[in-house]
Amino acid sequence: MKYTYILPLLLEILAITFTILFTIYFLYTIFSEKIRSGLNSDEINITEKYGNGYGNDGNDDDHIYFMTYKETANFFMKDNDRYVRNLSELDLHARNVKTHVEYLHNIEETAISFTDEEKELLVKCANNADKYLIKETFSELKYGKYLNGNDIAGIKWIFANTYTNYFNDVIKENEQGLPHTRENIILLSKNVLKYDELNLTNTLIHEKIHIYQRYNPEIFDKIIKDMGLKELDKKFFKHAKYIRSNPDTNNKLYYYAKNNDNTMGLLNAIMNIGGGSDNKNDIRDSNDSTDTKDSKDYDDDKVMVCLYRNDKPNSINDVKHKNYSAEHPYEKIAYDIAENFYKNNKNKYINI
């Protein structure tokens, strides 16, 4: 008879134990998500369709959307634009990973939501950027006639945030914390959000130009042509293996033709900025006489491109030259426009 009481007692103990463990797990999950969300209490509804269909709650500017860490992590893993999947072997080495899947998981774990203070700063800088763009005529730029500041300002701001994730002596970063765009999203980092107002606004203008370029290729095809540039098939470029991937470009290669009078000033100086290299893997091989289809029309130093120094770059910035405006026409244009803002506004921030 005494054993008939033991079984119910054991079942009751098991039930209580299970309830306690489940409660601990539930609280841990809630707490962990709260930390990773940037300690925000106003999380944005993540069920909204990605893209310009993103909607804001009543606390946010309708023209500005802040992605949550869940949305950002989900965006990374989907890789709809195939940016990560198209990274070269050298790109992966520069990011300290062996496979595309490894990098996808790494950047997924860098996603973080914005704090209220970061949102406030970005709203201020984004609005300042739009005010500048609306009034700007781009008259100082030779290709300014093709640009419409109202159209650029009208693009909705969609921001995603990342941080440097240190875990078990492994450093996980999204593009080493550098600001960039993918699709219609401007990806920032905790480091970028430490910029002062002038430099952050300058950065936002630069990145918004890249969004404008991505969705208006026909406009920039005309600008690139007016700049005296021609497109070069990568298969005829002997250093194609060393090209650094950049999500802010159209993934095309351009060069200044030999018979173009405008080629002598810009790139001759640019390609010498980084200096030489004594590395035996250096990509500039004086004995390399590879012929190309366009050999009568282009020289290596007239190609707008950013090249890794060797076969084993140790970072994204382990490149031959540091003048990033010469990496691609899209970069040059974005730098030109943002620099105009900087020149015209830097005096406003003196002694602030």
- pLDDT 10s digits, 266-300: 444 444 434 334 444 444 343 333 334 444 467 77
Do 17 and 86 fall within a single domain? no
Q: Which of 38-52, 70-84, 199-213 has the lowest mean pLDDT?
A: 38-52
Render pLDDT for 213-241 as a digit per residue (tens, 0 to 9): 999 999 999 999 999 999 999 999 999 99
Neighbours of 67 (CB within 10 A): 24
- The pLDDT score that the predictor gives to residue 124 is 98
Residue with tokens 């299970």: 18
Do 82 and 212 fall within a single domain? yes
Quote the distance between the C-alpha of residue 106 and its chain's center: 15
Do 71 and 203 fall within a single domain? yes
Do 69 and 211 fall within a single domain? yes
Domain count, the chain: 3
Do 21 and 84 fall within a single domain? no
The helix or strand, by DSSP H or E, that contains position 26, with its residue range, turns out to be helix 3-36
162-176: average pLDDT: 93
Neighbours of 144 (CB within 10 A): 16
253-272: average pLDDT: 60
Query: What's the pTM value of the predicted model, to 2 decimals?
Result: 0.76
Is the pLDDT higher at 142 or at 167? 142
Is the pLDDT higher at 352 or at 317? 317
Do 340 and 269 fall within a single domain? yes
Residue 131 counted as domain residue:
yes
Do 177 and 257 fall within a single domain? no
Residue with tokens 């007016």: 226
Render pLDDT for 106-118 as a digit per residue (tens, 0 to 9): 999 999 999 999 9
Do 125 and 206 fall within a single domain? yes
Please check the confidence at residue 190 and state whether its pLDDT lies above 90: yes
Do 229 and 195 fall within a single domain? no
Do 168 and 299 fall within a single domain? no
The boundaries of the domain holding residue 341 are: 221-349
Task: Give the Å distances, CA to CA, from 298 to 34, 38, 305.
Answer: 55, 50, 13
Render pLDDT for 56-97 as a digit per residue (tens, 0 to 9): 544 456 899 999 999 999 999 999 999 999 999 999 999 999
